Amino acid sequence: MRVFHDRLISVEDKEWILDFIMELLQKNFRSTLTKDELFGEKKVLFSDILKLEASNILYEEIKDPAKLVKSLKNYLEDYNSGDSTTMKMNLVLFDDAVDHMLRIARVLRQPRGNIMLIGVGGSGKQSLIRLCSFLYDMEFKQIEITKDFGVESFRDFIKELMMKAGIEGKKVSFALTDSQILNETFVEDINNELNTGEIPNLMNEDDMNIINNDMRPIINEMGKEETPDVIKQVFVERVRANLHVCLCMSPVGDTLRVRCRNFPSLVNCCTLDWFSRWPEEALLYVSSEFLKELDLPSEEVRASLAKMCMRIHTSVED
């Protein structure tokens, strides 16, 4: 599912692979499970989100989706009540959003976990990354575009992230949107980092001296030789394990296709997660949640307004 299904871009293709999986299950395992039991309303879900505070965190099946949603809402409340400088998020966690959260969380919990979220603007990609980063106590980072921001500024920013991940061992999630890519050099650098954990000509002599000095206690603790090659190797391994690149791309136009062809690590080294058009049920749920606290004449009016909001959204898309 994660290797093939998530990379498919149309509902028809996704339905085809689900049918193919069911066919293989019945043929090779004589399974009596139905498609609806595995992939329908009560689909199989796995995560460790319910037991993040336990001493032994297990990646296990989630048998109670309502409990999962309640847990995610609690984490969202904790996020919004935290640091005053943190951007507050008003998210409605409907089924599709929860599915995407589980995929992002699964990637972030893994060493060398990187992800590319593909969907039109406003589909909630960055918000879900923020919340997932909060779940795993990761430092969420984004570039701030200013008038003088260019290639050198971007490289300095990436260097700072690599130092945190490599020397300090901090887990960092770095989100980059296509609107923040002011120069294709940005993508080239990300491609190199994804592929090898290094960016050519990024570290100068002073930076390498800092790495050699600060990495020595770590090398000693690991029982390895303090040679420059070993220090560099361990630093790169720690960067790749702790720095999680989260790309937020739009499928509109040819830009994404051209970038994926020119920089293959964007596809080869990232888990792909397509944000398809939200279904009508999801839109209706969102509008109902936002209207829930509004003072209206009757529940019938509330339900009608929710349907109207959903119709307006779908008609604009059409």
How many other β-carbons are positioned within 10 Å of the β-carbon of residue 58? 10
Cβ 215 vs Cβ 144: under 8 Å? no
- Residue 260 three-state SS: helix
Residue-wise pLDDT tens digits, 232-287: 999 999 999 999 999 999 998 899 999 999 999 999 999 999 887 777 777 787 78
Q: Looking at residue 279, what DSSP letter applies?
A: P
SS3 174: strand
pLDDT < 50 regions, the chain: none
Separation of alpha carbons 59 and 153, rounded Å: 39
In whole angstroms, what separates CA 75 from the centre of its chain? 16
Residue 272, SS3 per DSSP? strand
Q: What is the pLDDT of residue 84?
A: 53
First-to-last CA distance in the chain? 29
CA distance 258 to 158: 23
Phi and psi of 82, rounded to 5°?
-85, -135
pTM over 0.85: yes
Residue pLDDT, tens place only, 81-115: 876 556 788 888 888 889 899 999 999 999 999 99
| Distance in angstroms (rounded) separating the CA atoms of residues 17 and 39 | 11
